[in-house]
Amino acid sequence: MNPFIVNVADLVNKPGARRHEHVEGRLPGPIMVVDSSLRTEVPAVVDGVLEWVSDGLLVTGTVEGAWEGPCRRCLRPVDGMLKVDVQELFEATPRDGESYPLGHDRVDLEPLARESLILDLPLVPLCRDDCRGLCPTCGKDLNEGDCDCLPSAADVRWAALDVLRLAGDE
């Protein structure tokens, strides 16, 4: 049984009727964006208020979920939690990209949870803001110390940009 399906028969066609819902369950996976992915073995949580409005059922609250991926500089595994604020409308006749479908007496919060978390996944995860990354020559993790590689000669085609970069450091 899908834990994200919520019976809303007590709210339908009763303007102003509202109630709090807290549902959690595992999203079907895998769910990836670039190198970041949702951890589908950890339950996603939808916590919010369901309220009947003139257009349908308004869901206002938060969606939480776990993510993981490699650091974009040093490739170490990185993970974290996402908490996304949501306010979405469920309608009997949903408008593509604007609202979600409202069944006769129930709503499925799974697409809302999945889409909200996907849109909040970090595109460039970092293990820490000052991650030094890997040496481009030998591949050593520069967070663990400097390597013995000689500095590479600068490409003369980029000399004008190096001047700007060095001017910005002053």
Q: What is the Cα–Cα distance from 63 to 83, expressed in whole angstroms?
A: 6
For the chain, the first-to-last Cα distance in angstroms comes to 62
pTM of the model: 0.80
Q: Where are the domains of the chain?
A: 5-120, 132-170
Question: Strands 100-101, 77-91: parallel, antiparallel or unpaired by DSSP?
Answer: parallel
Position 167 pLDDT exceeds 80: no
**Residue 114, burial from CB neighbour count under 10 angstroms (0-12, 13-18, 19+):** buried
Q: What is the Cα–Cα distance from 118 to 96, expressed in whole angstroms?
A: 18
For 32-59, what is the mean pLDDT? 93
The first and second tokens of residue 148, run together, are 């013995």
Q: pLDDT tens for residues 115-124?
A: 999 999 998 9
